[in-house]
Structure 1
Amino acid sequence: MRQSLVRSRLTRQQPARIVCMYYPTAMLPAHAARCGFDAVWLDTEHNTWDRRELQRIIALHHLANIDCIIRTGSRHPTELYHLLEDGATGLMIPLVKTPEEARALVDAVKFPPLGQRGLDGASLDNNFYLDGTESYPESANTETLLIVQIESPEALGNLDAIASTPGVDGLFIGPGDLALRLGCPIDWNDPAMIAAEDAVAAAAAKHGIAWGRPAGTPEQITRVAAKGGRLIAHGSDFGSVITGLQQCAAHLSTALSAS
């Protein structure tokens, strides 16, 4: 089974470098790998992806040797572990509020003794059964990641119980949903957001799991890392198009004005 770059870095207490893919972009896994990213966070919660399209993109991650972490709104067990069978390295689940929800997710995506994931072994994650399944369940539990998103006051109130759930590998703050539910601006310097960030960092440290959040600037990256954050998402196809087109338009305007 392919070894996870993110898991390897977390084991060595190093931050994992993650970039986001909103839309199917065949070149992004290869370019992200060349740039030194460890994973692509592929967002299917807010964007529409065809199933075969997902399988193709995940396979391109394997070809580039970069992790694919899929954010999905599904809570259906077979849909979740099907994504892992297709080769996803990890799953990011939004709006997890209680330890019961966290436990149900572990049951869905981890094999016994951690969970109750169904066993097959004939898909990409197990190299299409070429080597059998003897070591597959243990390897899958070790190399895959379950990351739950903390995005509500209820989740903050249940942080200790969620973070202590065996099989939960990481906590990830969703700033938009969390700020909306806290009734504060989407501003990492807002006192409510600072308190939430500190609480997530403390719970992750207490239970020996990873935590992280999107970081939009070098200063934010430094801040997250200083607090022990090791799931650091910075950059996206969406953002690159915005900044790239703005830069190209400025170049055109300057050059054409000069001529």
Structure 2
Amino acid sequence: MPVVLPASPGEALPARRGSRGPGCPVAAFMSLPTQNMECKSTAPLFGDSQGRPAARALNQVGSIAKRSIPMHESVVLKKLRNNEPVWCAAAALADPNVVELYGHLGIHCVWICTEHRPLGIETVHNMVRAAKMGGMDAMVRVPKGSYSDYIRPLEMDATGIMAPHCMSGEEAQQIVRTTRFQPIGLRPIDGGNSDGPFCLRTPEEYVRFANEQRFVVVQIEDKEAVDCMEDIVATDHIDIFFLGPGDLSHSYGVPGQFDHPHVLAAIDKLADLAAQYHRNWGMPCSPEKAPELIQKGARFLTTGSDVGALGAQFKQWRAAYEAVGLTFDSDF
């Protein structure tokens, strides 16, 4: 027997012969009030007598209360526009569950890296989805490559991208042209992906929203980039200038020496130029180092990763077990 909607809004759906009583999930659903439905006929819910599909039958039967198509507004940009610091944490283990956990913890942004990590494109997409589900931004660091490497994460609806090893003002301008729509840049337009969303917005809405609610980060992490840093920082329409102390120290021949005078001088130079040009800047740091950097004007702070947190916690637990007599075959 076909399921029939009630004759008037607010009336419970009729009981179905053969249902299992009040404890049955189907019976519970069938007893729900229908104040959000407007009945127009008694066509079957899952298709009509003429064999037309359910979607067409529903159009005849009634309409569910309309809702707007959600588009994720950037948490990072909202905070930066209010001059508030942002915390971004890295997810290196290619697991959307980690991203979902970060969202539950209220972290502002997750850093997903495709420059160094063996992440497939579908995995990145699912990690971005998990971030949106948790109300969190997702930033994808892309490899240096074709324009597709820059725009594909944005079309997955990543909230931001990070372009590594920006070496000049000209390169910074090219990144803007690739990642911004008109009238700012010449990003290729699609609209049929998650960021569109799926052609459910007009092209005008899509372009405007992307330019207003998606952020671009460029990394300054080479001594050549430090030499022309002002040209890079002077580039408009880049949201964050990010100093990478790891590669920068390596570039200076002192890998891992983050307190080396060359690295510290580069940090101060970026802080001064960011203040001069009214730009946002940031870098990796510990919570202990954060107040000093915030005092220098840094607003985008990256701290922690799933790999680091797991390693540190399990080392602590192992030490506790060793203290009570347990032995282990491996060392580190």
> What's the counterpart of residue 61 of structure 1?
131
After superposition, residues 234-253 of structure 1 pair within 5 angstroms as: 234-253=303-322
* Unaligned segments of structure 2, at least 5 residues: 1-70, 327-332
Is 1:47 the counterpart of 2:117 in the alignment? yes
* Unaligned segments of structure 1, at least 5 residues: none
Residue identity matched to 1:202:
D
After superposition, residues 37-116 of structure 1 pair within 5 angstroms as: 37-116=107-186
**How far 1:88 moved relative to its partner?**
0.7
Q: Aligned with 2:195: secondary structure?
A: helix
Cα distance in 2 between the residues matched to 1:219 and 1:36: 20
Residue by residue, what CA displacement relative to the aligned partner does 1:222-247 show, whole Å, maximum 9, x if unpaired?
12111110110000011012101102
After superposition, residues 157-172 of structure 1 pair within 5 angstroms as: 157-172=227-242
Instruction: Point out which structure has higher relative CO (alpha carbons under 8 A, 6+ apart).
Output: 1
CA contact (8 A) 1:164 1:207 kept: yes
CA contact (8 A) 1:22 1:44 kept: no
Cα distance in 1 between the residues matched to 2:156 and 2:116: 20
> What's the counterpart of residue 121 of structure 1?
191
Normalized per residue, the structure richer in helix is 1
After superposition, residues 93-242 of structure 1 pair within 5 angstroms as: 93-215=163-285, 217-242=286-311
Residue by residue, what CA displacement relative to the aligned partner does 1:105-148 show, whole Å, maximum 9, x if unpaired?
11111001111001111111122222322211121011111111
Cα distance in 2 between the residues matched to 1:126 and 1:255: 57
Residue identity matched to 1:88:
A
Cα distance in 2 between the residues matched to 1:135 and 1:160: 34
Q: Count the aligned residue pairs.
A: 256
Residue identity matched to 2:116:
H
**How far 1:66 moved relative to its partner?**
0.7
Residue by residue, what CA displacement relative to the aligned partner does 1:155-196 show, whole Å, maximum 9, x if unpaired?
112111111112211111111110111223533332211110
Cα distance in 2 between the residues matched to 1:131 and 1:94: 31
TM-score of the superposed pair, with normalisation by structure 2: 0.74
Structure ID, larger Rg: 2
Is 1:9 the counterpart of 2:79 in the alignment? yes
CA contact (8 A) 2:87 2:302 kept: yes
Residue by residue, what CA displacement relative to the aligned partner does 1:48-68 show, whole Å, maximum 9, x if unpaired?
111111111111111111111
Cα distance in 2 between the residues matched to 1:164 and 1:33: 34
Q: Aligned with 2:198: secondary structure?
A: helix
Q: Aligned with 2:145: secondary structure?
A: coil
Cα distance in 1 between the residues matched to 2:131 and 2:106: 13
Residue by residue, what CA displacement relative to the aligned partner does 1:17-38 show, whole Å, maximum 9, x if unpaired?
0001112122222221222211
